[in-house]
Structure 1
């Protein structure tokens, strides 16, 4: 019951934070714009996009990019812009970014061709727009921390499951890779074999085989 109360209190606090955040943004900006920032740690980046219309925060979306270990911030931003606006139903006249993008002119021309009108890309260094980018960046940082906590909890549960399998089967070490085989046939003929693979407790469909 205490956990339920704690969860309810957490949700209430988050709801208040969203209202306060919306008020801060409403007094900071005018017009239509998307604000994009991310937090980066090891091999993943957590991206936040705030949608501002008529000076009001009308929504937000978050995305997780994997395989970013060797990428620089401007490369991550460029990659995200291309992926996100490649299928976005609407492109606002202004994008406020935490980091510059590669090939700014090419990306800007591409966005303008999709929008059918001018698109401005800015990386604010000071003032109210910079404050707005900082708000989104802080949200991304918090989102990444929450994501890492969830991933750690999942990994802890998987390790516990592998440890149980190790004990039950009297193995000398954790079974990080497990393969399962099935042989089927029709009336004793046309035998078909299949293999499924689990790596560190997670299924690996790309490693499945049929023989």
Structure 2
């Protein structure tokens, strides 16, 4: 089942409603912020995430270092996972004369779900996949299998998780409210210092998203 889309009442032109777009954002920006409302208050941690690619839903895999799993009361309640794509300040000096309100363009996804804790064996498999994902193709890349006995001991200090995303609120705020020539100028200004954001603006192409029905 696809994740439900949140936030449909606000700034509909900026909404990302296609789960495929959210998956692409996670692939490109796998460093995520995990936020939990625990019995002791809010807790936040930061860990890399991967997608479970063979699932039609949005499913993320990750791990927590101990004792973060206990601080988050992991697996006992819904959590929020924030994925931040390209972003930057947009100066009003790039607008037409008389338009004086600057802003911040960004691509962001808020993912909600209750994580399932993994067994030690499942956790080690996720850690191996995570390492392989970032090490493959690097000269002299290292892999957990290079020292399985040693890395299995280290892995005991972590707790793996799998989270099916029940709902998401994702936005690509990319100056869709501006005239095409203004968007083009903003993109040109961003290109030298933030090519990823400039590319996202070009991909958006000024498309105005309609609220889902």
What TM-score results when the alignment is normalised by the length of structure 2?
A: 0.23
Name the structure where helix makes up a greater proportion of residues: 1
What TM-score results when the alignment is normalised by the length of structure 1?
A: 0.23
